Amino acid sequence: MKIKICALPLSLLAMLAQPAAAGQVVVGFEDISVDWELISGYGGVSGWENFGRLSTGNSQALGSNLVHAREGSLHFDAAPVVFDGLYINYWVANGIVSPFSLLYQGAVVHSVLIDSDAQPSDSMYWLASGYSGLVDEIRFNYASSDGFIVDNLTYTTLTPVPEPATYVQFAAGLGLLGGLAWRRGAAQRVGKV
C-alpha cells in the first residue's frame, strides 16, 4: 500500500501554524537631541510636524525628552495597531475631559475620559487607552493654552512577520515536493523501459 504525501499543502499548513509576530513599540524620544527634530514617520507614527515640539531636558520626562503639544492627530504607519497608552500630563482643571480619541478608518471608536482635577499636576502618569480594538489614528483634543506633555507613546503592531523557522519549514516542504517529483519521474522512466 502506497501513501502519497503532498508536501506543498503540508508545508503551507506548517507555515500558517506559526504564530504571527506582533511587536510592542514604545516611542520615547530619547534618540533625538535637538528641538523641532520630530519628523513624519518617527517611531512609526506620522503627523509629528503638525502636532507639537520636542522638549529636551524637561524635568517631567521619563528620560531626557518628551513632546509638548496642544492638539492634533497622529497616524500609525503600520496601521491598524492596538494603542496601549502613554505617559501624559494634561494641564487643565475643569472636571471630566477627553485628552484623546482613537479612530479607525475615520470613525471614533473610543475616547479616553479623565478627571482632570484628580490627575497629578507635577508629574507624568500612565494613561492606558482602555481599548483593545484596532486603530489607525489617535486624535489629541485641545487641553488649554498651556497644552499637554506626552512621553513613551506605546502601541502594538499586528502585522504578521514570519518567524525564521517558517522559512526553513517552507524550504524543507519544497525540497520534499521536489524529491517526490523526481522519484515519480524516475519510476515512470523505469516503467517505460
* pLDDT value, residue 39: 87
Give the phi and the psi of residue 81 in degrees, each rounded to 5.
-130, 170
Interatomic CA distance for residues 58 and 68, integer angstroms: 10
What's the mean pLDDT in 82-110?
A: 89
- What's the pTM? 0.69
Residues 48 and 116 in one domain: yes
Residues 71 and 150 in one domain: yes
Domain total of the chain:
2
* pLDDT value, residue 168: 63
Residues 124 and 139 in one domain: yes
CATH number of the domain encompassing residue 100: 2.60.120
Task: Select the more confidently predicted residue: 134 or 116.
Answer: 134
Residue ranges making up the domain that contains 169: 7-16+162-192
**Domain membership flag for residue 127:** yes
Bridge partners of 128, per DSSP, are 85
Long-range contacts of 143-148 (CB under 8 A, 24+ apart): 143/70, 143/71, 143/90, 143/91, 143/92, 143/97, 143/99, 144/91, 144/92, 146/91, 147/52, 147/68, 147/69, 147/70, 147/71, 147/91, 148/68, 148/69, 148/70, 148/88, 148/89, 148/90, 148/91, 148/99
Tell me the pLDDT tens digit for each residue of 126-182: 999 999 999 999 999 875 667 889 999 999 998 655 555 555 676 677 777 777 777
